[in-house]
Amino acid sequence: MTQSSKQTPLPAGYRLAEYTIVRQLSVGGFSIVYLALDDDDRKFAIKEYLPRNLAERRQDRAITVPHELDRDAFNLGLKCFFEEGRVLSGISHPAVVRVSNFFRANQTVYMVMEYADGRSLGRELELVGGRMEERLIRKWFAALLSGLREVHSQRLLHLDIKPANIYLRRSGVPLLLDFGASRQTLSRQDKHFAAMYTPGFAAPEQYDKSQPLGPWTDIYAIGACLYVCMGGSTPPPSRERCEQDLLSPASQAFRYLYSREMTALCDRCLALEPNERPASVLEIQKILQQTEYSQPERPSAGEGNRLVGWIKGLAGGRDREGQE
């Protein structure tokens, strides 16, 4: 995402409580994330609440809201951001980013999180050619869902699950990053934030303020991630699917590459109606943890040739995307 002049990052060397800013790691519509060191030279990721459409940084580094009409929205997001940090600080699970501290400074809030060496699931997909073995999908997502269950048990939703927010440590243990609860709260209260979703991974109810959000909303995003991991493109935005569903079901697109159980699970998660999705994260986890499952269908000779052509075309398309 392009960084606006309003989101001027804190400079390297800046002292923030007992931490020293090293560099900016990422920026989004609602926050900036920094790499920082504490006084014992331990690495942390620090997220700063700085909604681009509401606030900006003054020369003295403090955050200000230029337009008084935006004050209530800014304060609501600040409250949700702070509450999110409070809840996450009470969760100790290897698959959920650990929040070790959160505090107020510069007229905003900072969330101090563990810094993990590794790479995102999105980057991992690029390195393996755009499609993962079923064994790895089952292993990584079963571990990830264990953490998501813990999050849901605390009545917190992630609301922005996607390959970029799933991190794979060097040890191979997945980590769920960048919760979107606070910005989702804002987006459902203010028309200026209606587009703050990740197209393809956001469930239909995230576009409709009259529909409740719940664990079923995160389940839709899990389905979209499974679809991408099996070699598919990002699904069309769910709002478009509700008008005309052009998504090729996983049970058809990947039946020669993955088990019937895996493709059927993906399709259920991607159901447009919440009550047609799996009832809970635990249900998905149990399916993924099954050690016995069917082998992929065997294509006929003609279908096999088309399948080889499809895979080559997919690889070629990804190669071209990387060159552009």
pLDDT band at 322 (very low <50, low <70, confident <90, very high): very low
Q: Is the pLDDT assigned to residue 188 strictly greater than 80? A: no
- pLDDT for residue 288: 97
- In terms of phi and psi (left: phi > 0; alpha: psi -120 to 50; beta: otherwise), the region of 130 is left
CA–CA distances in Å: residue 244 to residues 73, 159, 172, 209, 234: 34, 24, 38, 21, 16
Q: What is the mean pLDDT of residues 44-72?
A: 93
Residue carrying the six token digits 């390297």 = 12
Which letter does DSSP use for residue 45 in this model?
E
Q: How far is CA 48 from the centre of its chain?
A: 18
Per-residue pLDDT of 307-318, as tens digits, reads 555 555 555 554
pLDDT band at 189 (very low <50, low <70, confident <90, very high): low
The C-alpha atoms of residue 199 and residue 126 are separated, in whole angstroms, by: 19
Encoded amino acid at 6, one letter: K
Is the CATH number of domain 119-323 2.60.290.11? no
Lowest mean pLDDT among 50-64, 215-229, 258-272: 50-64
Q: Which of 25, 41, 30, 23 has its CA nearest to residue 7?
A: 30
pTM: 0.83
Residue carrying the six token digits 């006084």 = 39
Q: Is the pLDDT assigned to residue 324 strictly greater than 90? A: no
**Which CATH architecture fits 16-114?**
2-Layer Sandwich (3.30)
Q: What is the mean pLDDT of residues 302-306?
A: 59
The percent of residues in the chain predicted with pLDDT above 70, rounded, is 86
Neighbours of 107 (CB within 10 A): 17
Q: Is the pLDDT assigned to residue 182 strictly greater than 90? A: no
- Enumerate the CATH 1.10.510.10 domain ranges in the chain, comma separated: 119-323
Encoding tokens for residue 45?
């990721």
Neighbours of 72 (CB within 10 A): 12
3-state secondary structure (DSSP) of residue 286? helix
- Enumerate the CATH 3.30.200.20 domain ranges in the chain, comma separated: 16-114
Q: Is the pLDDT assigned to residue 110 strictly greater than 80? A: yes
**Average pLDDT score over the chain:** 87
